[in-house]
Amino acid sequence: MRVLFIGDVVGKPGRRMLTRHLDSLVDQNRVDFIVANAENAAGGFGVTPDVARELFDLGIHCLTSGNHIWDKKEVFDLLDEQPALLRPLNYPPSCPGDGIYVGQTAAGLQVAVLNIMGRVFMPPCDDPFRRVDEALSKLDPKIRLIIVDFHGEATSEKVAMGWHLDGRVSMVLGTHTHVPTADERILPGGTAYQSDVGMTGPYRSVIGVMAEDVLKRFVTGMPTRFRTAKQGAELHAALVTVDDRSGRATGIQRLQVIEED
């Protein structure tokens, strides 16, 4: 089985890249299951019902998120109505939605997606190590193909989670920092790992925001409204091959599509 995991989709530039290139990536790489992190998909901050539907209509099976999932209040009801739209599972259980989704491929193979968030330099949330252990203990043992989106700031915390879950899940792929890392590998227990898949959005920017807005804040220390950049669109993703029977990853590859402005 082949999983395409798309890094943080940022605003219209990110969605446009998916509209233009997702079908060809799926066909060329014989992809069976698609996951995308969508927490910045609506104007760079959050996700709306319309944007979520737009992404699902492209053929994406599951949308993960992170700390920006609450930025658009109109998504609250959708989180309860649409199980394939996730928020980090280590938010309190009283929050809308869930952090686990179980779906299946066209061939009928069950796939579990877990969305967790780090605590280092991130908003308050529960212990991701304990909560992911609890979630895995409750998962049907027949499900071998398990995808984990670890949404976190600190590389050390992400690497630690990779080792913590090695041999128990098919892949641990990092999101949130919007910069693709070159550390993709298969850990000894058969878990594919990458610290950050990167951003699908405008790279002529500061991690998706117009450079002048970010520079003004850094240079002056004054509050500044952040606007989503529009140029330098790129698509970044990880392609992971998994053995159907064991659930162990057998390959991981970084994918990148760049459009000329």
Cα 55 from Cα 50, distance rounded (Å): 9
For 42, 228, 230, the CA distances from 64, given in Å and listed in that order, are 14, 20, 23
11-29 vs 49-57: helix crossing angle, rounded to 10: 20
3-state secondary structure of 161: helix
> Which of 150, 238, 236 has its CA nearest to residue 201?
236
What type of residue is 7? G
Confidence of residue 150 (pLDDT cuts 50, 70, 90): very high
Per domain, the residue ranges of the chain are 2-258
For 92-159, the DSSP string reads -TTSSS-SEEEEE-TT--EEEEEEEE--TTS-----HHHHHHHHHHHS-TT--EEEEEEE-S-HHHHH
> Which of 134, 136, 175, 145 has its CA nearest to residue 246?
145
Annotated catalytic residue 21: no
Contacts for 26 with CB less than 8 Å, ≥ 6 apart: 4, 34, 59
pLDDT for the residue 44: 92
The one catalytic residue among 68, 151, 176, 178: 68
Query: pLDDT tens digits, residue range 40-72?
Result: 999 999 999 999 999 999 999 999 999 999 999
Query: pLDDT tens digits, residue range 165-207?
Result: 999 999 999 999 999 999 999 999 999 999 999 999 999 999 9
Say which CATH class 2-258 falls into.
Answer: alpha beta
pLDDT for the residue 259: 87
Is there a contact between 199 and 10 (Cβ–Cβ < 8 Å)?
yes
Confidence of residue 261 (pLDDT cuts 50, 70, 90): low
Tokens at residue 250, please? 């057998």
Contacts for 163 with CB less than 8 Å, ≥ 6 apart: 187
Confidence of residue 102 (pLDDT cuts 50, 70, 90): very high
